[in-house]
Structure 1
């Protein structure tokens, strides 16, 4: 109790730290600026970067120094975008920036009378001053191709300016935007909590200085964003930090090696330990941890369309889809107190939702830090509704196999609505009193200390499944095996994650009689919505497909495109379709979830996203369509349906990753109505014929939560999608999905195994985990065709189309994402 009071006092002292800048408002401006730079990635490297550095040193800093002394403009200056980017990176080494400014100009050049160019301020007056001072150098950077001899000569004169390696500084700062570019980061409450945590971060450093403790303190990314924002105001930063710490705090961004045991990993572990001992709260925070490496770019050349994009309500008019919100949750059971003296056995906490939802609908287990001495953090997604239910359970301590159910010692709950509807607070850590289910007299109530944090609720992507609804055998799959004739009367039913029908689609093929009479009708995609409305949704028009009354046109890229896309979907937006998982869907850490040739990524290109924004992932093999944007739901469904028809060739088991190897003529021929064979392995369901519409679909999906166990020492993961798991040794969890009898079965052996199974039909997706910490994942279709992985010790495995898993104490290899701090 005395310790907790001291921690509360430390929290109060930390918040007394004063800063002379509105860092919340300034952080929002920084995020806007970084987004603008990310649309101009030519400033990340190459000739444009070299020339921007020259302009910054030779033009911007002298102009700023002159304005600082005599205010050469009546109003504030507006800095050119390229110069602002170099200035941004220079200021993020505050000690070096201060030294350079004082050496070259006798004072720190501040930003107090400067506006950013990306917020639309009038730059006319600044441009006039610039043109008078530098008549041969335009205000806006305009560089294409290689540097001229004159440019090289000017660059050679840079040595008389700063000695700081600005190229390397830009290289280090370029990946930062990816870490802070998620929608929840801009939320006022998230940023206000980030500011409070930044003050706590400075307080720890102050304590270390006072105690002469050498520790490399590593921020989480919310703290790092505020720290960067503070440094971008160099005069205020130097003043504030001298008052707080007695010196200007360096920002060491030189280390990026996150390997266990290296400086960054040890620094983050040490900072976590110090934070939690000092303040009694968790250092990790949902939405503030390392996301992994930024995805690979599709092209170094931006694709900008000048066409004005207008919102289309065609999808909403045709499909009535519910808007579901989702949050990311981090959860840790910190401690338990007032246990009965007679208590023996192993304790753990089971947590679940009182209102299971699409993302989280199963019980999971967590150990208790104070009881077992091992940090275990659960990361999962759920809807921001209902309550989280916690049950304290006890297993016998005997090493013999457990043969009876654990003893329930009490339960408590936490309401998600209290935090998230509306958003009032994004983190909580406190003692919860347990309610007892037994009639036994308890002398002291038992308490659990629970730490939880959330991201701001955002709209969840739509996950839709295509189900072939003609009469099939029990072992049949979502789509028919390529090569099996697809009956003209067959339908494909599109269902959502709850198995609710969204729309039914049918490919209409011209009859042979019409072919003989040389009067072939155009091939069409016909659809019936769940309300019974019938629509002709797509029509083959010779060189491509016209979708949704000509709102969109789907065309094959006949010549091998520079960026490798195979299809284009053109309408009021420009969407290119690439083979494989790209951008946000890119496979990380060498994980395998089926062959890349089974996937296609739809990427939107626009003035806002010149380098592309992933809007949907199409799994042609399994018939799963993941759509991020509402406007793309119907075009995405139709594209997946048509592409699956186009690409199913005789003997086809995927298509060549080289667009140049795709036979264009054969694809167009197939678009005119050929259906041939190949081999597939898919998530499946047993359904009745759409033609016999009175019979309802019997699909069942055993959906499991997107769950991750974050292990200690900065290791762990945050999931996106279905069933991701990162297990810190000792606690298992599982995920199964599928349809039909006996699918997604899972058997866990002794120890704490974990697993994931999916499939359809009788007995598919079975999995058995061995003793110790083995894990496995299987998916398939047909009777008995699931994959099985047995692990002894800490083995792990994953089959096609199933959840991601990394097992073992510390960090297993595979798809788990490390959870560490920022630079």
Structure 2
């Protein structure tokens, strides 16, 4: 901060607010959570009846109590009436005028207690029943709401004409935005109160200077602003003293489109804040977190069920808890740069010791150098140092490529920031240590701004890796990785996100072992220790699986309800399994193009979450389990293993989803992301008109499979078939393709309008759409290439492409003679990988790709630069968003 900026900030903090905003904010968060557990108040007909009760019963009772209190006990407002009262007060000008019109004065909240504060309601209920003997104090959402009588009652009373239905619905998204663990932390709220005063100071300054500006708050500021407005009388008095008027709270505009009122208002507010105070306006944990997830249930789960806590797992496996912090990072300014380097500098950032949440290296511009505001958002473990590498642009012989050479280094200890007990943000000038040979007359200083949330439990990721190919024929949900497990011939190894072995799982079919003392036991899942001992994790008896967990066991049952879930876990908790990614796992941005048939979400239902809470996600396509709560880890891993066996045997959870439908979905998904989508229309029609036996792995209008072809070449339509001798298993779902060449490995399926897989192609070349296909000598995993130049003249050209070049969309592919290394996948609108490219070049979105020449090093992946709101593209491990102008509130 400069001296003038310090003066402005001090003046802002001297603004007087006659309300304990921190305590009010905490109570508001508790109340919003209670309302969210009663979501019938969001929609008709309960919403209209709650509005009627608020107008007809609560406001008159409140006015009477405030004028002449009957007792010294506080008045406890019913939940439904409090919700409408809450939303009415968030339009302070309208609430003031409505109160004065009906009651001659503003109705405040002195000696009024929220329904969620745990105070006895008996005295208030007694008063209510005397005044309104025909209307119960509590609103029962199961009651019938007579629409005709309600309309008649509303018309006969003098109620506000303010559209309270719309006011309520505008607040529903806000409830989601602030429903986060760090929001109720004292340190976070103290900073939010200070930032709210800064926000009011900007508005006061604009008013003094006759500047008309639509100031847009971040969500921490908005939470405090709401808290102030809930004390209606104090808010009006405070704002009159500050501004000479009551500040209107305009929440009617929700259009986040770039260039619209909300977007330009937020950009202007950001600039004014940072110019005035010298502080960053964007803050970790206070930004827009995306649209409200679609609920899995429309009515709350009935808690008549009392689950027994079945026996605990005897040999409990301990899983360490993992914590995460959200980080918002910006490079603001640089000083003492040699004259010739100005305008050419960028900064790369990474963790000095990569952790399980953040193991990438990203690059951003510096605001003072580029004139463009860029902010990085990511999650990481709350330990270690963040390393910053200053780089300088240097000429490159390759077109479209920029080369950045290292210039110097500096770092910041994340642990020190969190342990200091100070603010949840850091604005520091760091001294850049130049590399040997770099000369500077003065020390180079880099202004780094970093904000973070307090640590909260993080989702842990586990990988299921088969020791041998599990499926004899193609299935919708293969577990893709194959490795050799310890001490067993065929098992599934479970690893954490660092690649460390956690468990080895194996399933035994006991149905033919007649000598067992428990003949009803048909299957058993056990884990294998390093010494070769086995310990049971799950047993299948009759029609149910019993899965043993570290905190109690569950029975896995087929769905008995009609709310769309597939299975239930019944035990000391209630968990339902839904197809697709739901709630916290709901896809955002480019993740929406992935098939939802590959996922199952485990949703926990309890008193705190009657509409469901995401507990785990199982990704069958990639063999990944994501779990947040420790009690769910072992259950989730075992569940994924069992469900994959069910999928293998039943061909999917939904019998109607066969190969024909999957091919159509592949074509439609790809067509939706292509410029010339009409070119794929004929393919879709061809597939729709083929024999329905495609769903049974039939081969239609195909050249067939060559000699020595492995099992499962089905679902091939209008293709040249599988080539010569030695074609591996799983070449199915090939549509208008050149087919698989001789010696093709397993898993070349889902090739649509492609040149197919060349001879000697390794396994997993599938999902190649309008592509040049995989060339000769292609390694495994070249799949999911859409409108791609393929992998360097085929995959890898003469040198041969390494494994996992897949998911290349509108890409130049993997380059030429030097041979592309492994994991070049997930390249979207990219220049692709140059010759001699090392492993891990994947996830390049709108990127210049990996350069050639001396060969690209490993881990070039995850190069993202997009304009979406903070959120990311559902990348497998590291999710980092570099954004320019997101809308906050």
Q: TM range, normalised to the smaller chain? A: 0.7 to 0.9
CA contact under 8 A between 1:388 and 1:414: conserved in structure 2? yes
Deviation at 1:540, TM superposition (A): 1.0
Deviations 1:201-227 (A, max 9, x none): 111100110011111111010100000
CA contact under 8 A between 1:597 and 1:656: conserved in structure 2? no
Deviation at 1:621, TM superposition (A): 2.7
Deviation at 1:639, TM superposition (A): 1.2
1:426-445 paired onto structure 2 within 5 Å: 426-438=424-436, 442-445=440-443
1:199-348 paired onto structure 2 within 5 Å: 199-307=197-305, 314=312, 318-343=316-341, 346-348=344-346
Which residue number in structure 1 is paired with residue 830 of structure 2? 774
Which residue number in structure 1 is paired with residue 506 of structure 2? 506
Structure 2 distance, partners of 1:287, 1:680, is: 46
Moved more, 222-231 or 620-629: 620-629
1:378-777 paired onto structure 2 within 5 Å: 378-396=376-394, 406-421=404-419, 423-438=421-436, 442-470=440-468, 489-510=489-510, 514=514, 522-529=522-529, 534-548=534-548, 551-557=553-559, 561-589=561-589, 591-592=591-592, 594-649=594-649, 656=656, 742-743=802-803, 765-767=823-825, 774=830
Which residue number in structure 2 is paired with residue 696 of structure 1? none
How many residues matched? Answer: 718
Deviations 1:327-366 (A, max 9, x none): 1111111111122234466111122222221122232211
Deviations 1:223-260 (A, max 9, x none): 00000011001011111111111111000011011111
SS in 2 for 1:493: strand
CA contact under 8 A between 1:597 and 1:655: conserved in structure 2? no
Deviation at 1:130, TM superposition (A): 0.7
CA contact under 8 A between 1:546 and 1:553: conserved in structure 2? yes
Deviation at 1:583, TM superposition (A): 1.0
Which residue number in structure 1 is paired with residue 182 of structure 2? 184
Which residue number in structure 1 is paired with residue 4 of structure 2? 6
1:94-105 paired onto structure 2 within 5 Å: 94-105=92-103
CA contact under 8 A between 2:394 and 2:404: conserved in structure 1? yes
SS in 1 for 2:614: strand
Deviation at 1:312, TM superposition (A): 9.1
Which residue number in structure 2 is paired with residue 799 of structure 1? none
Change (3 A) 1:328 1:317: farther
Deviation at 1:589, TM superposition (A): 3.9
CA contact under 8 A between 1:776 and 1:790: conserved in structure 2? no
SS in 1 for 2:641: helix
Change (3 A) 1:405 1:611: closer
Deviation at 1:277, TM superposition (A): 1.1
Larger Rg: 2
Q: Give unpaired runs (5+ residues) of structure 1.
A: 662-675, 687-740, 778-783, 795-801
Deviations 1:143-168 (A, max 9, x none): 43642267325543365121211111
Which residue number in structure 1 is paired with residue 755 of structure 2? none
Deviation at 1:591, TM superposition (A): 3.1
CA contact under 8 A between 1:747 and 1:767: conserved in structure 2? yes
Deviations 1:698-724 (A, max 9, x none): xxxxxxxxxxxxxxxxxxxxxxxxxxx
Deviation at 1:421, TM superposition (A): 3.1
Deviation at 1:396, TM superposition (A): 2.9
CA contact under 8 A between 1:77 and 1:113: conserved in structure 2? yes
Deviation at 1:59, TM superposition (A): 0.8
Deviations 1:724-779 (A, max 9, x none): xxxxxxxxxxxxxxxxx95567999xxxx99999xxx9965424969xx73779xx
Structure 2 distance, partners of 1:120, 1:280, is: 43
Structure 2 distance, partners of 1:440, 1:806, is: 30
CA contact under 8 A between 2:326 and 2:377: conserved in structure 1? yes
Deviations 1:285-310 (A, max 9, x none): 11111111101111211113245689
* 1:362 aligned onto 2:360: yes
Structure 1 distance, partners of 2:332, 2:806, is: 30
CA contact under 8 A between 1:746 and 1:756: conserved in structure 2? no
Change (3 A) 1:126 1:281: same
Which residue number in structure 2 is paired with residue 376 of structure 1? 374
Structure 2 distance, partners of 1:310, 1:201, is: 52
Structure 2 distance, partners of 1:54, 1:40, is: 18
Change (3 A) 1:755 1:438: farther
Deviations 1:3-30 (A, max 9, x none): 8221121111111111111111110110
Deviation at 1:533, TM superposition (A): 5.9
Structure 2 distance, partners of 1:491, 1:647, is: 17
1:115-130 paired onto structure 2 within 5 Å: 115-130=113-128
CA contact under 8 A between 1:431 and 1:450: conserved in structure 2? yes
SS in 1 for 2:275: helix
The higher relative CO (CA closer than 8 Å, separation ≥ 6) is in: 1
Structure 1 distance, partners of 2:258, 2:342, is: 35
Deviations 1:91-128 (A, max 9, x none): 00001001111111111111121001112110111111
1:46-61 paired onto structure 2 within 5 Å: 46-61=44-59
SS in 2 for 1:42: helix
Deviations 1:373-399 (A, max 9, x none): 111111111111111121222123689
Change (3 A) 1:812 1:743: farther
Structure 2 distance, partners of 1:404, 1:225, is: 44
SS in 2 for 1:435: strand
Change (3 A) 1:583 1:803: farther
Change (3 A) 1:245 1:804: farther
Structure 1 distance, partners of 2:150, 2:470, is: 70
SS in 1 for 2:16: coil
CA contact under 8 A between 1:470 and 1:490: conserved in structure 2? yes
Change (3 A) 1:301 1:162: same
Structure 1 distance, partners of 2:845, 2:173, is: 39
Moved more, 231-240 or 141-150: 141-150
Moved more, 111-120 or 544-553: 544-553
Structure 2 distance, partners of 1:403, 1:282, is: 32
Structure 2 distance, partners of 1:314, 1:516, is: 24
SS in 1 for 2:566: strand
CA contact under 8 A between 2:313 and 2:548: conserved in structure 1? no
**Structure 2 length as normaliser, TM-score?**
0.73
SS in 2 for 1:118: coil
Structure 1 distance, partners of 2:865, 2:557, is: 44
Structure 2 distance, partners of 1:55, 1:196, is: 37
